Chain A
Amino acid sequence: MTESTYRIQGATGEWEVVVGLEVHAQITTNAKLFSGAATAFGAEPNTQVSLVDAAMPGMLPVPNRECIRQAVRTGMAIDAQINKWSRFDRKNYFYADLPQGYQISQLYHPIVGEGQIAIVLDEKNPDTSTKVIGVERIHVEQDAGKLMHDQHPTSSYVDLNRSGVALMEIVSKPDMRSPAEAGAYLSKLRTILRYVGSCDGNMDQGSMRADVNVSVRKPGEAFGTRTETKNVNSVRFVMAVVEHEASRQVDVLEAGGKIVQETRLYDPDRNETRSMRSKEDAHDYRYFPDPDLLPLELDDAFLEECRASLPELPDVKRKRYEQALGLSAYNATTLTADADTARWFETLVAEAARIQGKSESDVAKASANWLLSELYGALNRLGKTLDTSPVGPTDGAELLALVADGTISGTIAKQVFEIMLETGDKPAKIVEEKGLKQTSDTGAIEAAVAKVLADNGDKVEQYRGGKEALFGFFVGQTMKAMQGKANPQVVNELVKKGLAG
């Protein structure tokens, strides 16, 4: 556990920032929370709307099991209390994106209670730089529709496609103390949601957005008044909001002003927050239990299925990569930061072990290094991701096996990989066709060594005179003469022998 040292230097001394996040995460489902309309992104306006979503007279909600299940699984993934008895409440306010005149949410009895998320502040030292952020609750609620203001001079247009889509609202405790912690929390939460499969984490499509609660105080004093900046949709922006809002508040306070508890909006173009004209003037939401719905009672079989279907989670996976696979902390952290990456890596390792007839721990390091340097390098260059990678984990494992069994050298492997990226051919085929097989034929290597030594008599003299650093030069020249295809170990031995000769 680490203490944040992030401080804002004001005219009156140091200030500490206090941050809590309310994250709205769209639950990955086919249908909406209370209706059978689809949830897919990007449909024509008002086509994914049922009469229930449009709040026609007499329409009634029936909850979608998958939404409940995913909320429970998410709660389990953060070691949270799962409430077997919960209930939906109505939050009443008037707005054009809210057809019912209320949002069905959970105030009094949320489905998930207190939990926690461990964030890592220094990826190289995950075990010593971990901080645990408390989660207050997770509740399930409906999303609102969308208002568009730029299509008509005097009208706003209402699209209800998102109306009724299921959201989880994940409310943290005010446990974060710096922009970095807020960013790390949101990233980690996103990682967990993607592992669990309860949210796709696509922040640019609005699948995840954060309300950022920020206050400042002199270290050791009571919490100050907070502001809430709504719907911030990237990790970077969350960090920017914390930084900007904290210093704005310090300026206000040091000028003798007061912080008003209010809702603010972040403008990424100008990197500033501004006060929002409130949606509900009086902020009196008149929550009460939705009489169209009964309490939600979860039985043991349901909970058991939720637990059994949880994947290995990132923290456990990272520790396993370090301890069982022998990876560095940094590599383990990087490989487990995203569920898809970890899945790709694990296929690669399993295939490499299978092909080479070795244990996973024997092949894990080489696999990790290749993935993080060679493959990532290439994908970056090509503007691709693991999802769209032209080389799959099985081909990658075959390439690694060719290096491991001495068929090709590491240098040749880079060439082979380039060709794989271009052609999509199997590595063995490329090695065969291009004649890239590595030789351990001592006769040929001996001849090459002899020629190198003969051509560089002066350097041989210097070496023998004590300039041992030249050893690499002879090895390099020999490899070059062998077009990189000589077994480096054999070359080493024979160069040593020749020089001693």
Chain B
Amino acid sequence: MTDITDLTVAEIRDGFRAGDFSAREVASAFNANVATAKALNAFIVETPDSALAAADAADAARAAGDLKPLSGVPIGMKDLFCTQGVQTTAASHMLEGFVPTYESTVSGKLWAAGAGMLGKLNLDQFAMGSSNETSYYGNVISPWRRNDGGNAALAPGGSSGGSSSAIAARLCPAATGTDTGGSIRQPAAFTGISGIKPTYGRCSRWGIVAFASSLDQAGPMARTVRDNALLLEVMAGFDPKDSTSLDLAVPQWEANLSSDLRGKTVGIPREYRPDGLNAEIAALWDQGIAWLKDAGATVVDVSLPHTKYALPTYYIIAPAEASSNLARYDGVRYGQRDLPDGAGLQDMYAATRAAGFGPEVKRRIMIGTYVLSAGFYDAYYTQAQKVRALIARDFEQAFEQCDLLLTPTAPSAAFTLGEKQADPLAMYLNDVFTVPASLAGLPAMSVPGGLDAAGLPLGLQIIGKALDEQTVLNAGLAIEERAGFVARPDKWW
């Protein structure tokens, strides 16, 4: 019998329904993998008992003929989702020991659908980072290694690096992620898995520790497109508690999966092929174009003229929102408090926030504070919101000629931990291909396309029209079928 932990979510779900195994067997198998993978540092909190309890409930319910969409499926939860009774830290010292008395809407939907929780997954602190090197709880290590015989620790991507690492290493069949500027897609690409950021407003933000409100979106991460489709169906849906939630029915994405792209037109944005684009990435992209043509799609060149301004726009808007969203961490109502001798209230704030936030979080708060401050607001923030409108308009105009866009997910394969630490700007440039869709609120997905010469996964990104996750998933499936990506990291941990 194949190892249960090699199964996809759909296979676990179906096998459990068919009685091939019990939910307890599934949970136990993953718990065992989690327990022996400390070297990856993918989890901040492991919750094996929680996974078992959900499994036992699923087993009992199955006996009573009661099957839910995710009965028998254990998953990992990014530690940005507030989970009732389970410490939620956003990978910060600030929230160390914070135990929410409430459950985020998205995690609550997953539990209600029968899923169990294997643990809270590590991430970049407050989701700020692209390599998982900003966590207070230490770096997450990718299970992948270069095929050069060395053992350099590689970045699993960020900010959902605990999620990507855990899935690639078979510690979870799937996990939640959140994506503000690429935090689902880039780690998926770095670790050879799939992940989708739905249209802004599909998934409720209620109960997710906020980074940048106008950009944050939750989404699933898993090894297959089908798993992403079925998980997103559970996670998405209208939430009256989130003003930006879309009041729309959730489509049946899984049932409507089809890799037949006849009648669809794929746009290839020329601005995503800058001079000096990594040759292997460029080659994979060309391969992706060929696959989509093979699936029946027509391919056209399109232009997104403001692409080069997307990153600077993002690095004004996201820090600005973050500087305000993170003001609530002040040591008064929850979290860390640092109270130097004889300190007054404002001194307490400054000391608490100096001790509670890591350097990258502080850096972004400072940038955000600066761009909103008196005299600079229009030059930075208002200008950025105008350019953002132009970036969104670029997409609208491109979508007059095509149904979806195909691009690389990241400009390179996973890099070595520490490689870009010294230069924040170099780190930011990692998100060059993912950020534009975030700014426009569009659904976008990364699927693995192949390996580079060093044996590391590379991802292709599909960007769809607003609300058209189906086309994104279908194109992802078409690539998945043709890429036949079966590579997996050798177990060294």
Contacts and interface: CB of A to CB of B under 8 A. Distances in A.
Asked whether the complex places CB atoms of A and B closer than 8 A, the reply is yes
Nearest to A158: B332
Given A100-B328, A284-B373, A58 B244 contact: no
B240 A62 contact: yes
B210 A288 contact: no
A92 interface: yes
Contact of A286 (B88, B333, B377): B377
Contacts of A60: 205-206, 241-243
Given A94-B327, A99-B328, A293-B243, A58 B333 contact: no
Most buried by B among A101, A102, A286, A294: A286
Nearest to B101: A51
A90 B243 contact: no
B82 A96 contact: no
B243 A292 contact: yes
B258 interface: no
Nearest to B240: A62
Contacts of A63: 243
B101 A291 contact: no
B187 interface: no
A90 B328 contact: no
Contacts of A355: none
Interface string B208-232: 1110111000000000000000000
A394 to B, nearest CB: 46
B381 interface: yes
Contacts of B244: 292-294
B324 interface: yes
A61 B243 CA distance: 7
Main secondary structure of the interface of A (DSSP, over half): loop
Interface string B193-207: 000000000000111
Contact of A57 (B209, B212, B324, B372): B209
A51 to B, nearest CB: 6
A286 B328 contact: no
A291 B377 contact: no
Nearest to B326: A101
Chain B CB within 10 Å — which of A55, A102, A291, A294 has the most?
A: A291
A61 B104 CA distance: 15
A310 interface: no
B466 to A, nearest CB: 15
A92 B243 contact: no
Interface residues of B, number: 43
A57 B88 contact: yes
A61 B205 CA distance: 11
A95 B328 CA distance: 10
Nearest to B385: A289
A100 B243 CA distance: 17
A288 B207 CA distance: 23
Contacts of B323: 92, 286
Contact of A55 (B206, B333, B373): B333
A48 to B, nearest CB: 16
Interface in B347-405: 349, 369, 372-374, 377, 381
A57 B102 CA distance: 10
Interface in B223-267: 240-244
Contact of B213 (A92, A96, A287, A291): A291
Contacts of A55: 328, 333
B214 A291 contact: yes
B377 A288 contact: yes
Contacts of A57: 82, 88, 90, 95, 98, 100, 209-210, 328, 334
A59 interface: yes
B377 to A, nearest CB: 7
B320 interface: yes
A58 B373 contact: no
Interface string A370-392: 00000000000000000000000
Contacts of A287: 372, 377
B345 A96 contact: yes
Contacts of A56: 82, 100, 102, 333-334
Contact of A92 (B209, B349, B372): B372
A92 B370 CA distance: 13
B321 interface: yes
Contacts of B240: 62
Given A57-B88, A96-B345, A62 B328 contact: no
A54 B327 CA distance: 13
Given A56-B100, A294-B243, A294-B244, A101 B327 contact: yes
Given A60-B206, A292-B213, A94 B330 contact: yes
Contact of A102 (B101, B212, B243, B324): B324
A101 B330 contact: yes
B98 A100 contact: no
Interface in A71-130: 90, 92, 94-96, 99-102
27 contacts: A51-B101, A51-B102, A55-B328, A56-B82, A56-B333, A57-B88, A57-B210, A58-B205, A58-B210, A59-B206, A60-B205, A62-B241, A92-B372, A94-B346, A99-B332, A99-B333, A101-B326, A284-B373, A286-B373, A288-B320, A288-B324, A288-B372, A291-B212, A291-B213, A291-B321, A292-B213, A293-B244
Interface of A: 51, 54-63, 90, 92, 94-96, 99-102, 156, 158, 284, 286-288, 291-294
Given A57-B82, A58-B104, 9 more contacts: A58-B82, A60-B205, A60-B241, A60-B242, A284-B373, A286-B369, A287-B377, A288-B372, A292-B244
